[in-house]
Structure 1
Amino acid sequence: MAKNKLLRMDNVGIVVESLDNAISFYEEIGLKLEGRATIEGEWAGRVTGLGSQHVEIAMMVTPDGHSRLELSRFLTPAPISDHRSAPVNALGYLRVMFTVEDMDELVARLMKHGAQLVGEVVQYENSYRLCYIRGNEGHLIGLAEQLGHK
């Protein structure tokens, strides 16, 4: 019997309070809006285990076209828990990390959109500058700038 082969990772899902705010924030990072849709009905609830649901989604794609974020705003059922203030060492999904060209310029722009630096921008050897921020929806986002690579 042939072993099933992984083809790709399609996306990472993030639940948000405001789809418009999240879209504008991730566009500021450099992702592009690929599309928006409303998902509802019994068929969707059979996938998620939530029963009948009504969800607005937006698919954001990185400039290289290889990675996507699926932003979801649940109208019904309403979100029942909030993990956004969990610390970096909490169990479960933690953060999304993006490689960027000019971290200082991007962090300054993102802070104007409500982002907060979690710790500080640090340099790892002669390879990367790294930081974590909380976006305007409170999600943890990692930024990495490769040094000596333009």
Structure 2
Amino acid sequence: MNNVGIVVENLDDAISFFREIGLTLEGKGIVEGEWAGRVTGLLDQQVEVAMMVTPDGHSRLELSRFIRPEPISDHRNAPVNSLGYLRVMFRVDHLDELVTRLVRNGATLEGEIVQYEDVYRLCYIRGPERLLIGLAEKI
């Protein structure tokens, strides 16, 4: 897999949030032109994109803010059992400390932090724009 894409309204807030989780900004720019519209099927598009890289350097998260055309639907408040995009989960260190920082910066804990056997501590949080993000700390 090359990357996972998430569409947001505020690119800077999303970049800050994912930096807090440990991703780094690889690059930021505008994607537009006839070739881009042919790939997506949107034809005339202009999209501001930021590519974030996981700490291990193996995975990427593509954050997109559509300038043209505007987004047409919104499923950010959908519960975890909804069809379609569900969530992205990141393996993190120091889960309690990270959740405290994220909540202090506006995220909300969706349920609670739980332990799965002797393998992981897990939780779901709602980040900027109510995006559902999973966090897993290996025990």
Q: How high is the TM-score relative to the length of structure 2? A: 0.98
Give the superposition deviation at 1:145: 0.7
What corresponds to 1:82 in structure 2? Answer: 74
Distance in 1 separating the partners of 2:119 and 2:34:
49
Q: 1:72 aligns with which of 58, 64, 70?
A: 64
What corresponds to 1:27 in structure 2? Answer: 19
Distance in 1 separating the partners of 2:55 and 2:125:
21
- Show structure 1 runs of 5+ residues with no match: 1-8
What corresponds to 1:42 in structure 2? Answer: 34
Q: How high is the TM-score relative to the length of structure 1? A: 0.91
Aligned AA for 2:39?
V
Distance in 1 separating the partners of 2:68 and 2:44:
8
Deviating beyond 3 angstroms after TM superposition, the runs of 4 or more aligned structure 1 residues are: none
What corresponds to 2:136 in structure 1? Answer: 144
What corresponds to 2:110 in structure 1? Answer: 118
Give the superposition deviation at 1:114: 1.2
Q: Is the 8 A contact 1:18 1:73 kept in 2?
A: yes
Distance in 1 separating the partners of 2:56 and 2:95:
18
What corresponds to 2:84 in structure 1? Answer: 92
- Show structure 2 runs of 5+ residues with no match: none
Distance in 1 separating the partners of 2:40 and 2:27:
21
Aligned length: 139
Aligned AA for 1:61?
V
Structure whose alpha-carbon radius of gyration is higher: 1
